[in-house]
Amino acid sequence: MPGRLIRAEGQATTGDVAADEAYAYLGATYELFWEVFQRHSIDGAGLPLIGTVHYGQNYENAFWNGEQMVFGDGDGEIFNRFTIAIDIVGHELAHGVIEHETSLAYKGQSGALNESLADVFGTLVKQYHAKHSVEQADWLIGVGLFTDEVKATALRSMKAPGSAYDDPALGKDPQPGHMRDYVDTTEDNGGVHINSGIPNRAFYLAATAIGGYAWEKSGRIWYEALCDEGLWDTADFSQFAALTVDVAERLYGVGVEQQSVRQAWVDVGVIA
């Protein structure tokens, strides 16, 4: 990595679908953070956004390695190319933002918060790019990532965790949407990709209750909470929930925003 440069900033499309998708979606992620949150790239200081495509051989993933994005082409049987979904690109780049702000410990509830925050900003990138309101948004993460051979609508659903796929080979989407179904496991660093469904649904509930465009108020609340000095690297769901309620009051006073955020966390069983 990074390989041979085939498209630099401002250059025309290349005809390489993966390269052109990566270029467009890296740019869309930058636009959200700059235009909405006044954040100049991932580190807040203009870090160049570099992406490597066609990584490995049939590589079934995309990741932020601390310096750049890396995209696999998928195996063509279960997974399509990993540049296909704008919110997956936004998700992985958001891990870089999280890393620069809090370094949330990647295990247990703090790790699930890390994954959830990446999904929140991933869906905000998609919604901002499409200019979709909370009612127009599909609240799905990774649409198009699975091939047509897989019985799936997406990789995850923020609206209805546990409903994204049900396939004989993959099994059923294991994400819970409520604390009563929290998965205690030693796998996946304590279930970081599974239990992220709970805070994901909380954001969906808060955003739809507040209404309008999710990046304007609910996204602002989650972003300010991420950047708040009160967010510890070992924060659990309840600590983050309390922080978002406090941030909502700080930004908008005691009103529908704060009440909607608090009720969202109540509805997923995180706070009483």
**247 within 8 A of 118, measured Cβ to Cβ:** no
Buried b (16+ CB within 10 A) or exposed e, 150-182: bebbbbbbbbbbbbbbeeeeeeebbbbbbeebb
What is the DSSP-derived secondary structure letter of residue 165? B
SS3 content of the chain, % helix, strand, coil (to 5): 45, 10, 50
For 41, 207, 265, the CA distances from 133, given in Å and listed in that order, are: 24, 10, 21
Provide the angle, in degrees to the nearest 10, between the axes of the packed helices 108-130 and 17-31: 100
What 3-state class would DSSP assign to 145?
coil
For 36, 64, 77, 149, 200, the CA distances from 69, given in Å and listed in that order, are: 22, 5, 23, 27, 23
Cβ-proximal residues to 50 (8 Å cutoff; 6+ apart), any chain: 2, 67, 68, 69
For 112, 134, 197, the CA distances from 116, given in Å and listed in that order, are: 6, 18, 7
**Catalytic (active-site) positions:** 92, 193
CA distance 176 to 156: 11
CA distance 14 to 37: 31
